[in-house]
Chains A and B, each alone.
Chain A
Amino acid sequence: MSESEQVHRQASLLLPWYVNETLAEDERDFVRAHLAECAECRDDLGVLQTMRESVVAGSAAPIVPKPRVAELLSRLNGASDVQESPFVLGRWLIAATIGAISVALAWLVVEVAGNRVEPTVFETATSMSSVTTMDYVVRLDFDDSVGEADRERILAALGARDVTRDLQASGYRAVITAPAMSFAELQQFTERVESMDGVQAMGVLALQLPVDTRSRDSVQ
Chain B
Amino acid sequence: MTLWTGLRTAVRVNCHQSARIRRYQSTLTTSPPSISPTLLGRARALAAEHAELSRRLNSGYDTKLAKKAGSLSAVAEALNGWEAANNSLPELQQLVKDQSTDAELRSLAEEELASTREKLASYSKDLQTTLVPQHPFAEMSCLIEIRPGAGGDEAALFAGDLLRMYRDFCKRKGLHATLLKLDSTAAITSEDMIQEAILEIDAPGTYDVFRCEAGVHRVQRVPATEIKGRTHTSAVSVMVLPNIPEQSGQNGENDFDDPTSDYFVDSKDVRTDVMRARGAGGQHVNTTDSAVRLTHLPTNTVVAIQDSRSQHKNRAKAWQVLRARLAQARRDAREEEIAQLRISVVGVARMGRENKVRTYNWGQQRVTDHRSGITMHNLDDILEGGESLDKVMDSVKEWLKTKDIEALIADEEAERTKLEANSKKANQHD
A and B interact physically: no
Contacts from A to B (Cβ < 8 Å):
none
Q: Name B's A-contacting residues (CB within 8 A).
A: none
